[in-house]
Amino acid sequence: MGKIFTKPEALSDNHTHYCPGCTHGVIHRLVAEAIDELGIKGRTVGIAPVGCAVLAYNYFTFDFQEAAHGRAPAMATGIKRVRPDLIVFTYQGDGDLASIGMGEIIHAANRGEKFTTIFVNNAVYGMTGGQMAPTTMPNQRTTTSPLGRNVEDTGMPIKMAELLSALQTPGYITRQTVIKPKYIVKAKKAIKQAFTYQVERRCFSLVEVVSTCPTNWGMTPLDAIDWAENTLLPYYPLGEYKTPE
């Protein structure tokens, strides 16, 4: 009988440190599957962010650099400019990419840097302990918005896929989620597509992945999935925002 399920070669045997119900593990796996299927592990360099995925390099089996908070797109630019043959991706959360790293992602995208960004949006700062993020929903309680996010004071959550799509240069911008199997299949396809565009040296590519954080949302994993589907997805619509011509 043939083998029908196996661990991607691009994933290591280490157990992750992620909380129960967190979707980082699923997203890591999809990235690893795409890298295996494209046969690019030996020329891939990942950039780990500051945030829950800071130790991502422990879970993959290829080269990694570790960025400062928000600066991964600048590092990816540096690598890709001096080694265009390498496949480079940044893996960033919402505090990292949409707050402190807003400048770096906009300019890297606008220059059309030919790397890939996996943007994990769970509407909260994870590793620092559940503080408000630029993508935190109105009235969502966090450790720095204990009464719920007051949008009168803090503005409305930033929709990064839409914002980046307003730029002319970036080639591939999509928003996906991994909270249910039907979504995971589509997210996998999008992630593989993003890497494929890079392999073809075509364009900047970004996959926003709406994710869960049961620990910092104060929910069970199942409630977190329901909340993501009923609260996040209506505000952060899934789909392809930009595709290369």
Partner 1 sequence: MAKVLMKGNEAIGEAAIRAGCLNYFAYPITPQSEVAEYLSKRMPEAGGVFLQGESEVAVGYMIFGAAGAGARVFTTSSSPGVSLMSEAISYIAGAQCPAVFVNIIRGGPGLGGILPSQADYFQATKGGGHGDYRLLVMAPASVQEAVEMVMKAFPLAEKYRNPVMILGDGLIGQMMEPVEFPDGLRSEPTNKDDWATNGMDSRNSDKQNLVKSLFLDPKALNDNNLALKAKYDRMKIEEVRYEPYNLDSPYQALIVSYGTMSRVCRTVIDNLKSEGIEVAMIRPQTLFPFPEKAIHDAADVDGCKIVFSIEMSMGQMVEDVERCIKGKRPVEWYGKCGGDVPTPEEIMEIIKERL
* Contact positions with partner 1 (CB under 8 A) in 34-53: 41-45, 47-48
Name the residue nearer to partner 1 (CB basis): 41 or 189: 41
Contact 27, 194 (CB under 8 A): no
Residue closer to partner 1 (CB basis): 80 or 141: 80
Task: Kindly state the smallest distance separating residue 64's Cβ from partner 1, in Å.
Answer: 5
Query: Rule CB under 8 A: is residue 235 a binding residue for partner 1?
Result: no
Binding to partner 1 (CB under 8 A) within 92-111 occurs at 103-104, 107
- The total of other beta-carbon atoms located within 10 Å of residue 165's CB is 18
Instruction: Pull the structure tokens for residue 229.
Output: 């589907």
Check residue 169 and give left, alpha or beta (phi > 0: left; psi -120 to 50: alpha). alpha
As a whole number of Å, the CA-based R_g of the chain is 17
Task: Select 167 or 233, whichever has its Cβ closest to partner 1.
Answer: 167
| For partner 1, the closer CB: 78 or 218 | 78
Residue found under tokens 């209506």: 234
Q: Kindly state whether residue 82 participates in binding partner 1, applying the rule CB under 8 A.
A: yes
Q: Which residues pair with 142 in a beta bridge?
A: 145
Indicate whether 16 belongs to the interface with partner 1 (CB under 8 A): no
Q: Are 133 and 99 in contact (CB under 8 A)?
A: yes
Q: Is position 239 an interface residue for partner 1 (rule: CB under 8 A)? A: no
Cβ atoms of residues 205 and 197 within 8 Å: yes
Please report, as ranges, the residues that interact with partner 1 according to CB under 8 A.
Answer: 41-45, 47-48, 54-55, 57, 60-68, 71, 74-79, 81-83, 85-86, 103-104, 107
